[in-house]
Structure 1
């Protein structure tokens, strides 16, 4: 008589009977767990890395509290799919559930990866508006993401995506063959809808608990404590619901300088105007504001014969928004979608447009690619006649400055050609948008490099700022050689600062601190400020337009701009306000030496005395009266609501 093994070999593998099922059969359990276990392990590992890198010390229980939302959401997420597979056992329903299972797993993995990288690069959490921006502007975002994506990261993500699509089915099939499982799903057995209902209810409860506020060590925001998917969903719902104060939108729009024009006076002199946009240049990294002597020696030389604002601030720390504030004299919008709308319409008569009615020619030069934030349309709305981006320039022999631009000297030859063709026809206004100090700080070595600090990223940034100093000198020399210098007013301003972890933030969009908002602002008017003049009070980018018009001797008719001329005393009771670029992330107000930051409840309020604490290390908000804090919050929220009302579609002509 043959042994059992011989019989088995002759007739093929035996199928082991399906044991009593708990919600799922063993093949289904294998398939579900083959995807959920590595996915959840991956997501939780990324979060634990972020928690471990928090600047403040924290123990096990504090770390666990910061992981609570992630643990609850992922437990609820897993249980939901167990419940769905328990009822969708065959047929079209099964195919739909399987497709959604793999698709959502990929989305969760991508959101978790994106949130992790976003936090690593910027120090900020990934909210709904950022996710939406990534979807709507893939080319711009792709260039940024590619600059930060290492080969190892790309390999891990690619492998994970391939596994999410094919891995669980292949693993289950292989395991089933080895163990002799039936290929078909197990029969119903029991009451599948009862198990499904229970699984879904428990899943809903876990996800609901993941939304609740969490505690944790200081320095960790509420959004940080939330699971990335939960945070993206919650910030999206908050934007839809809205909770800002109600303002009279029509009254706001009636005050906009849409119908302004210029009138000549006895002081009017039709001189040229040049605006030099210093990209990502914070005041503290420029020599006249206390930066290293080797950083910007030429700007330091110009400062000695310029009108210099000692405390100038950006309205919104983002390039396109700064262009509107500086060249149109109004507060720009915050938020990515409203920034994008500036390519459709700017609710103001801007400087180039106003001067164009006085016979000025105009040109805008940028060393960046034209695709960034609809730059051609924005420049046209700024009032410039001619626009030159890097696509219009000969880049041979010039180095890349970052993922969307070249070193700024590439603008010099197009500038010279335009001036040769237009300068003799009358006065002009020309703008030069530098791009070299923008992230990723490649620091072209045309003029060599210096060792300023040990930290690589910061050192490359400082060398990029140093490069722009050479560009400014080259540009001024060009104007001198062409006999245009003496009859030109030059404005040098930073669009925003740049952060390198001083407050746990990086880059600029979401940085309400001095390193993000405080900028250089100098006006060179040859022959006028020969001994140098200083403005000590806080001023903003919106003050540039009225100051330039005052220098030229024009008066504004048909409306008012909110800024003030820096040739006049700045009102002592003036309060400057600013907003982060990310929508509903942070607002700031500066009055004298007092600064207040509102974080929309994601972090505690912040109050600083800049005279005693210029680095904003000592938050005084806890010692402030609750009524004072509420008054500051309400003031900022009302201001933000008025700015939003100014950019509503109904404000168009």
Structure 2
């Protein structure tokens, strides 16, 4: 019964290992590209020679089996003559030597990665063997059918894991699969652009093989169970192999293979439930009881005017998927954002600003709410509970109470998950999304919405109304172009960026250049309205983007710097704000207290985790992150060290961002106590963040009211 599972598991892991060693073509059904990719693996040269030798021996010398060996060697030499090594030393001997060395490394890496999969199959064999051994004879037919269905389901799971990793470059988990299953409608537009023939085969092939095998052996239930010494011997062998699960995953010196040394089924089983320390949960609960409220809170927040209050307008532009390293401000040789770069010369530029979670709605909570956001599932639950009883107050909420006109503009459809609910919670007076902004001829650029240019005039029209009414205003803008799948309007004349070989990255750069032009038009409109000197402008990325760095192609389940480090600048020409650089570790939660300070407002009745960008911070400041798929990854920064924790599925990665800003080499021999301490700190932060977002006071703004944990 388990032969198709073992076969498909081995093929899937082999494909992942090969892809880790040398990336496969985007669509493996482009046969020339596929053959070129396969030829790179010298171990396959030896396999091809052996198969050819076996075939020739069977056809020509069927009775002389020993000739298989010399024929295979002859075929291998012929291949070396046909495809010699390039360079000065291109002899057959040199070619065979290089092939042998590289093949040995490839095979050893594959064996290290397959060992835990072999163990997982042994565990399943032993478990199913016990089930069948103790199943009554009258129920055996039904049990065999049920177990065959389980095997088909496991083959499908292995195929989905393979397709997911090929598409995103990141390991999947039970949490990821559960999230996708519960949000099929919402995630379908994200999956569609990544669908290829090979990925469809990866999913369907395992199901077909397992179902065909089950049909071929449909009379399996009628066969007698193995009995006697032979049956017990096989059971002991399966048990011995199964006990290998207690051994650690094999170590491998090649970093790209490190994540594949754990078995696929073992990884999915481990991630079915988060590995939370029970004492951390108890500690957070005890702290809540002792203090009477969560660690961070804002449900009772008030913004008091002071003698320093200056009722400036505020405009926050949140930039979809804009990573810092791809902008002209942070990489001057890259002409993707020349307008923003020119604006930066008169602005405060934050050198080291990071997102908390690589997810747009999470950025809204951090920037507009000033609180640590939650991942996808947590945000969904929080938005639902917040409608029943407010948990936080936001910057637009307190400014609206202070007499500001407040608005939110985005050309996207906010029906992905609960994004519209999140925006509603912020208590904007005026909201316009794709539904209100779309006009005849408006082109839907991404699967989320129309081009950003369609919101420029409505923003300026709304602003003009506030100017005539002499009313201070707060506007939040969320762009759309720049989101995966990196499409620009059909009217956009694409630019050529020198030295860019990745077509996705080239398309992304064009998106940034397009957004830069839209921002130029918007700022020119504000200039014509005469509001520049009365307005504080904040431009900040919602999250970054990955383009094969660390093997990742998407950001939702990766928390490396490419997905976290975002451009940020504060432009306030009417204030005595000297242009320059804001240094030190900063995070999106710092925007809220910065705006409050610039406006001269005193925040009371709240405990916010952020720190104003106008003041220096401790260079050893701790920052925390999580992936947008909950309980998939956590990360932390402490000074120049960055930690990436995958809930013990893989060894914790530790990087020195001063010496290794691109996180290319994980530090070795890191103190075990340091790793344990940081794991503890990350889990404490994660649990405190959730407790803070869900806790609420029983009586609104009454500061003496008791707080409830949920």
TM class by smaller structure: 0.7 to 0.9
Q: 1:275 offset after TM fit, Å?
A: 1.2
More off after superposition, 294-303 vs 128-137: 128-137
Q: 1:575 offset after TM fit, Å?
A: 2.9
Q: 1:342 offset after TM fit, Å?
A: 3.5
SS of corresponding position for 1:429: strand
Give the Cα separation in 2 of the matches to 1:376 and 1:384.
12
SS of corresponding position for 2:171: coil
Please name the residue that 2:623 is paired with.
Answer: 576
SS of corresponding position for 1:256: coil
Give the Cα separation in 1 of the matches to 2:671 and 2:207.
52
SS of corresponding position for 1:641: helix
> Do the aligned partners of residues 595 and 97 (structure 1) sit closer, same or farther apart at CA in structure 2, a change above 3 Å counting?
closer
Give the Cα separation in 1 of the matches to 2:261 and 2:429.
49
Cα deviations by residue, 1:118-157 (Å, 9 ceiling, x for unpaired): 2223322111211110121111222222221124543664
Aligned residues: 605
Give the Cα separation in 2 of the matches to 1:91 and 1:280.
59
Selected match of 1:309 from 342, 350, 362? 350
Q: Name stretches of at least 5 consecutive residues in structure 2 with no aligned partner.
A: 23-101, 697-707
Please name the residue that 1:468 is paired with.
Answer: 515
2:319 pairs with 1:278? yes
More off after superposition, 609-618 vs 377-386: 609-618
Please name the residue that 1:435 is paired with.
Answer: 480
Give the Cα separation in 2 of the matches to 1:143 and 1:202.
47
Give the Cα separation in 1 of the matches to 2:653 and 2:404.
46
> Do the aligned partners of residues 625 and 84 (structure 1) sit closer, same or farther apart at CA in structure 2, a change above 3 Å counting?
closer
Query: Which residues in structure 2 correspond to 1:123-134 (within 5 Å)?
Result: 123-134=169-180
Please name the residue that 1:16 is paired with.
Answer: none
Please name the residue that 2:52 is paired with.
Answer: none
Q: CA RMSD in A?
A: 3.5
Selected match of 2:395 from 346, 351, 355? 351
- 1:80–1:200: 8 Å Cα contact kept in structure 2? no
Please name the residue that 2:660 is paired with.
Answer: 613
Selected match of 1:387 from 407, 431, 435? 431
Please name the residue that 1:49 is paired with.
Answer: 15
Please name the residue that 1:540 is paired with.
Answer: 587
> Do the aligned partners of residues 415 and 109 (structure 1) sit closer, same or farther apart at CA in structure 2, a change above 3 Å counting?
farther
Cα deviations by residue, 1:429-458 (Å, 9 ceiling, x for unpaired): 221111222222224354322222111121
Please name the residue that 1:327 is paired with.
Answer: 368
Q: 1:585 offset after TM fit, Å?
A: 4.3
Please name the residue that 1:179 is paired with.
Answer: none
Give the Cα separation in 2 of the matches to 1:649 and 1:103.
44
Selected match of 2:563 from 500, 503, 516? 516
Give the Cα separation in 2 of the matches to 1:101 and 1:410.
56
> Do the aligned partners of residues 488 and 305 (structure 1) sit closer, same or farther apart at CA in structure 2, a change above 3 Å counting?
same
SS of corresponding position for 2:170: coil
Q: 1:354 offset after TM fit, Å?
A: 0.9
2:306 pairs with 1:265? yes
Q: 1:494 offset after TM fit, Å?
A: 1.0
Selected match of 1:407 from 443, 448, 451? 451
Please name the residue that 1:114 is paired with.
Answer: 160
Please name the residue that 1:374 is paired with.
Answer: 418
Q: 1:419 offset after TM fit, Å?
A: 3.6
- 1:279–1:494: 8 Å Cα contact kept in structure 2? yes
Give the Cα separation in 2 of the matches to 1:153 and 1:565.
47
2:382 pairs with 1:337? no
Cα deviations by residue, 1:380-419 (Å, 9 ceiling, x for unpaired): 1222233322233326544444332333223234434544
Q: Name stretches of at least 5 consecutive residues in structure 1 with no aligned partner.
A: 1-31, 174-182
Please name the residue that 2:331 is paired with.
Answer: 290
Please name the residue that 1:213 is paired with.
Answer: 248
- 1:70–1:210: 8 Å Cα contact kept in structure 2? no
Q: 1:640 offset after TM fit, Å?
A: 2.9
Selected match of 2:110 from 36, 41, 63? 63
> Do the aligned partners of residues 603 and 102 (structure 1) sit closer, same or farther apart at CA in structure 2, a change above 3 Å counting?
closer
SS of corresponding position for 2:20: coil
Selected match of 1:556 from 603, 606, 619? 603
- 2:302–2:398: 8 Å Cα contact kept in structure 1? yes
Give the Cα separation in 1 of the matches to 2:674 and 2:127.
47
- 1:287–1:293: 8 Å Cα contact kept in structure 2? yes
- 2:412–2:433: 8 Å Cα contact kept in structure 1? yes
- 2:543–2:565: 8 Å Cα contact kept in structure 1? yes
Give the Cα separation in 2 of the matches to 1:210 and 1:592.
37
- 1:538–1:591: 8 Å Cα contact kept in structure 2? no
Cα deviations by residue, 1:76-110 (Å, 9 ceiling, x for unpaired): 54676677678879977624642x24532332122
Please name the residue that 1:229 is paired with.
Answer: 265
More off after superposition, 337-346 vs 86-95: 86-95
Give the Cα separation in 1 of the matches to 2:154 and 2:608.
47
Give the TM-score, by structure 2 length.
0.76
Cα deviations by residue, 1:167-224 (Å, 9 ceiling, x for unpaired): 4576568xxxxxxxxx8975758869x9999877866765554475311424257763
Give the Cα separation in 1 of the matches to 2:655 and 2:133.
57
Give the TM-score, by structure 1 length.
0.82
- 2:540–2:569: 8 Å Cα contact kept in structure 1? yes
- 1:511–1:517: 8 Å Cα contact kept in structure 2? no
